[in-house]
Amino acid sequence: MSTVKDIEGISSDTPDVSSKENQNKTRPSLLEQAEELGISSEGVTKNALRKLIKQKRLEITKEDWKVKKKLLAKQKKAEKRQAIEAGLVEAPPKKVKLEQEPSDVRVVLDLSFESLMTTKEISSMFGQIQRCYSANRACKHPVNIYSTSLGGELERRFNEAPDMKNWKNFTFEKRNYTEVFKKEELVYLTADSPNVIHELDDDKVYIIGGIVDKNRHKLLTYNKAQEEGIQTAQLPIGEFVKLATRKVLTVNHVFEILVKYLETKSWETAFTYVIPRRKFAELDEETKDNQSEQAVTVDQGSTPST
């Protein structure tokens, strides 16, 4: 015979069906959640709708974090200013404004390779273009930059950042560079070219291939230039530094090298200033090895003195 205690024990282990039903009633349905977040559910499966809702909530969380981060930065800046005014910390030295002398050199960022890049690579390219602009603003001899064949995802990103439309010395161009400049003015900078450039000509337009490919598309820019009947050239990297990998640099690195050369008139200075140290070993080491080999050869071939 079951006791009251036994019955109570069984009752406590039995799921509360009515409680679950109440929870389901209070929880918004997928359609209600979608409507609340402004997501259209028309023609969308339940699984797809769940993914859209999840993605939207993640975006909202990221946006909230951005706002919070901005407020924290503003608060930190105000606290630092108050500390300086109170004499608790020393004020940072004022930056000396660089006197810029614009250069006549023109640089094209060829953005016609978007279809060959992943979403992540396109995002990386967008960042590299921004760094090119920043480098141009900060250099002594700013050049005129043209982003040609602009379209697709990159164009969308630029349109969503309206301040970029006010960039100085920067032209957004949907046309290909061959429609903007004369062919005889164009020089495509590519590591695959047999021609080495030693000076920058004010009358030339230097093209940098806008692609992040991790060496997947070898000869891509060189072949394109050949098909279009355009001159090609490579930077004289091999004459000054020995790269540990193939001589393919990011778009912003190539651009920074160009503007650094315009400032210093020294390729060696430009390369060692811009290229990450992990990418190359100084040619001095190779020179030392060659000198050591020569010394050994001389010692072995010399006649012992009597």
Q: Would you please indicate which residues are annotated as catalytic (active-site) residues?
A: 213
* Chain CA centroid to CA 86, Å: 40
Strands of 111-262 (E only): list them: 144-148, 170-172, 186-189, 205-209, 231-233, 241-243
* Residue 116 half-sphere exposure toward CB, CA atoms < 13 A: 15
Q: What is the maximal distance between C-alpha atoms in the chain?
A: 121
Q: Is 212 helix (H, G, I), strand (E, B) or coil?
A: coil
Q: CA dihedral in degrees (58, 63, 67, 68; nearest 10)?
A: 10
Q: What end-to-end distance do the CA atoms of the chain give, in Å?
A: 121
